[in-house]
């Protein structure tokens, strides 16, 4: 059984880690998400670290639940603005719309997600294999319900996450091929997204919130892990 986990990696575009029967099976990198997904045609599930489902008003329950779950790692979860804010032309307009709909303004850091968020949402709408994940939520589950003790950009944090993946049977080699130039934290995030994708494919994944919100088209707004 093949699955694919994907993380955004700045100007490089997107990085994917493939698993076959739960074990590392290679990496992919592409500037376009749809092109990367198309190269993994055999993947039963594609898990993407990017907000996919959006609500019309208020904050997403999935993000609030993820913050509560992660405790000291709660800052790794952005509160994702309602869908109308992402249709605005620039950050000031989006921040104003977000304040109208949530009571708080959208941060510039969150607005920077806009191009990749919209790209990922287009793939989600076109392909029912695509599911939303959040790496720190997945690592929390992989560690038995404990948040990682060090941030993912630190040496200790990266060693811990690579060890957790290895203990789960996902041994990342020193040479990755296409992902060799991708920052280590993005590779680790794609790998744990793939771990979650395998769980989704097997029907053993968790999700937050337990009862998902629905978007205006009736699609679940949820984070899988």
Q: How many helices (H) and strands (E) does the chain have?
A: 9, 7
Total of domains in the chain: 1
Note down the domain range covering 198.
2-51+126-207
Task: Retrieve residue 143's tokens.
Answer: 């560690």
* Residue 217 maps to a domain: no
* Residue 45 maps to a domain: yes
Q: Which residue from 225, 75, 88 is spatially nearest to 145, judged by alpha carbons?
A: 225
pLDDT at 75: 87
* Residue 184 maps to a domain: yes
CA distances from 68 to 51, 62, 159, 166, 211 (A): 17, 10, 25, 27, 16
Q: Which helix (H) or strand (E) holds 18?
A: strand 14-20
- Give every residue of the chain whose pLDDT is below 70, as ranges: none
In DSSP terms, which residues pair with 145 in a beta bridge?
none
Task: Retrieve residue 110's tokens.
Answer: 């969150």
* Residue 75 maps to a domain: no
pLDDT at 148: 80
Task: Retrieve residue 123's tokens.
Answer: 């793939």
* Residue 11 maps to a domain: yes
Distance CA 19, CA 119 (A): 23
* Residue 110 maps to a domain: no
* Residue 197 maps to a domain: yes
The residue count for the chain: 225
In the numeric block, the tokens 């709660």 are attached to 74
* Residue 18 maps to a domain: yes
**pLDDT tens readout for residues 89-120:** 999 999 999 999 999 999 998 999 999 999 99
């Amino acid at each position: 059984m093949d699955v694919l986990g994907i993380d955004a990696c700045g100007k490089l575009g997107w990085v994917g880690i493939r698993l076959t029967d739960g074990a590392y099976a290679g990496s992919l990198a592409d500037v376009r998400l749809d092109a990367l997904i198309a190269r993994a045609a055999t993947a039963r599930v594609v898990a993407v670290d990017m907000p996919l489902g959006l609500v019309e008003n208020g904050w997403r329950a999935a993000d609030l639940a993820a913050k509560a779950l992660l405790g000291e790692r709660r800052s790794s979860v952005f509160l994702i603005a309602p869908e109308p804010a992402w249709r605005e032309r620039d950050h000031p307009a989006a921040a104003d719309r977000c304040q109208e709909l949530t009571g708080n303004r959208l941060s510039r850091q969150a607005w920077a997600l806009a191009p990749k968020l919209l790209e990922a949402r287009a793939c989600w709408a076109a392909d029912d294999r695509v599911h939303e994940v959040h790496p720190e939520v997945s690592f929390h589950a992989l560690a038995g319900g404990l948040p990682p003790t060090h941030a993912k950009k630190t040496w200790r944090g990266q060693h811990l996450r690579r060890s957790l993946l290895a203990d789960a049977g996902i041994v990342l080699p020193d040479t990755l091929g296409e992902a060799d130039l991708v920052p280590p934290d993005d590779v680790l995030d794609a790998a744990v997204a793939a771990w979650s994708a395998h769980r989704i494919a097997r029907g053993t994944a968790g999700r937050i919130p337990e009862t998902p919100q629905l978007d205006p088209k009736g699609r679940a707004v949820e984070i899988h892990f």
